[in-house]
Amino acid sequence: MVIFSLGFVASAIILTQWLQWGDAGLVWANILNLGARAFYAGMFVNTFFARSGHADVVRWRKAVPPLPVLLSFGTAALITRWSATKYSGLGITQQIPHVGVGVACIVGCLGAWYVAYSFYFIETFTDIQLFTSIRAISRNKDENNA
C-alpha cells in the first residue's frame, strides 16, 4: 500500500507542478490512485477465488448490471444533462424543476434496477422470513423446556 501512496504523491507533483494543472491535477492524481488500488484489489480477488476453486464467483457478467438498467442510467444522464443546460443561469427557485427532473431520474433508475433484480429481493426476503421463523421456533422450544 506504500507504493500506492508514493504513486499518488508522484502523480500529484507531476500533474500539479510540472503540467501546472493546479487543483484539477490533484483531482486527477486521486482518480489515478483510486483506479490503481481498484485494479490491484480486483487482481487480488480474482487470484484468491481462482486458487480456492471458485473463480466463477467473480465474473464481469455478474458485476455489470443488465442492459435495461444500463440504458436507464444512460437515459437519466442525458435527461439530467439536458435539464442542467436548460435551467443553468437561473435563480435558485427557478431551478426547482431541475431538481424534480433529477428526482424523477433517480426513481426511474431505481425502478429499472428493482425490476431487473426483483428475484434477488424476493429470495433475500424469503431467506429472512425463513430465518425469523426458525429463530421463533427455537425460542418457543427453549421456553417450553425451561
Where helices occur in the chain by DSSP H, the ranges are 2-13, 23-51, 60-63, 67-87, 96-145
Q: Give the pLDDT confidence of 99-112 residue by residue, as tens digits.
A: 999 999 999 999 99
- pLDDT above 80 (res 134): no
What φ, ψ does residue 90 adopt, rounded to 5°? -95, 165
pLDDT band of 116, cuts 50, 70, 90: confident
- pLDDT above 80 (res 35): yes
pLDDT for the residue numbered 57: 75
pLDDT for the residue numbered 62: 74
Residue in 38, 58, 39 with CA at minimum distance from that of residue 48: 58
